[in-house]
């Protein structure tokens, strides 16, 4: 992780958060078609996990739509098409999430092969759109944020994205963000939390997240 300039937004945080969405969109696309026909317990587990993923992604994108894109569009000129591309990709991602949500409801109702296959196809499409969006945002937009937004504006975006997630889900979200973080990234992210929250994470959140992920990924 590069050294942090105190007067510029620490945009690498976004890279760490993006790993959550690329990882979980990939895993959902793999786990759904691997589920046995008629295994209603497994279907319910994956449906609940998808809804938590959907909530996190929705609030992340909502915060970008409200606090990042308007500011960038007001401050960039030749790069405005890049920001407009981000908005268009958000629309495509939201559309796949809507379709996947409906398909999950049908799969929960039937647990059959037809519903599973339909859902799997939507999740593959969703994973592809997310991957394209993450690539474009990290390649083209993060440098614009670093150049054109202030540190308080960037921190307001991060606070808005986190605040949208229900309080009961925030330790799980923290675990999902930390999962693929390296030691330096982990230290930075945890260092920005209050001592009580760090203790809560270590004592309760971390083991609960590990149990949840074993159940989601292996059925254990």
DSSP codes joined into one string, 80-130 = HHHHHHHHHHHHHHHHHHHHHHHHHHHHHHH--HHHHHHHHHHHHHHHHHH
Spatial separation of the C-alpha atoms in residues 94 and 89, rounded to whole Å = 9
Phi-psi region of 61 (alpha: psi -120 to 50; beta: other; left: phi over 0): alpha
Residue 77 in any domain: the answer is yes
Q: Are 66 and 160 in contact (CB under 8 A)?
A: yes
Kindly report the pTM of this predicted structure.
0.93
In a domain, 152, yes or no: yes
Domain count along the chain: 1
Whether residue 6 is contained in a domain is answered as: no
* Residue 97 included in any domain: yes
pLDDT of residue 219: 87
Answer yes or no: is 189 within a domain.
Answer: yes
Domain extent for 157: 12-218
pLDDT along the chain (220 residues), means of 10: 69 97 98 98 98 96 96 88 95 98 98 98 98 97 95 94 90 96 96 94 96 93
């Amino acid at each position: 992780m590069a050294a942090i300039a105190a007067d510029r937004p620490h945009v690498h945080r976004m890279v760490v958060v993006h790993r959550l969405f690329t990882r979980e969109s990939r895993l959902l696309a793999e786990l759904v078609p691997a589920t046995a026909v008629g295994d209603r317990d497994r279907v319910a587990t994956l449906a609940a996990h998808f809804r938590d993923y959907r909530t996190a992604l929705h609030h992340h994108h909502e915060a970008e739509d409200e606090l990042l894109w308007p500011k960038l569009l007001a401050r960039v000129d030749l790069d405005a098409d890049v920001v407009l591309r981000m908005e268009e990709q958000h629309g495509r991602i939201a559309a796949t999430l809507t379709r996947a949500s409906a398909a999950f409801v049908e799969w929960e109702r039937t647990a059959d092969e037809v519903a599973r296959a339909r859902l799997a196809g939507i999740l593959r499409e969703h994973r592809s759109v997310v991957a394209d969006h993450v690539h474009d945002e990290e390649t083209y937009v993060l440098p614009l944020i670093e150049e054109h937004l202030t540190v308080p504006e960037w921190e307001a975006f991060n606070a808005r994205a986190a605040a949208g997630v229900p309080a009961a889900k925030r330790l799980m979200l923290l675990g999902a963000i930390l999962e693929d973080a390296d030691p330096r990234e982990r230290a930075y992210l945890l260092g920005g939390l209050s001592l009580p929250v760090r203790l809560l994470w270590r004592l309760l959140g971390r083991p609960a997240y590990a149990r949840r992920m074993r159940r989601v990924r292996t059925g254990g």
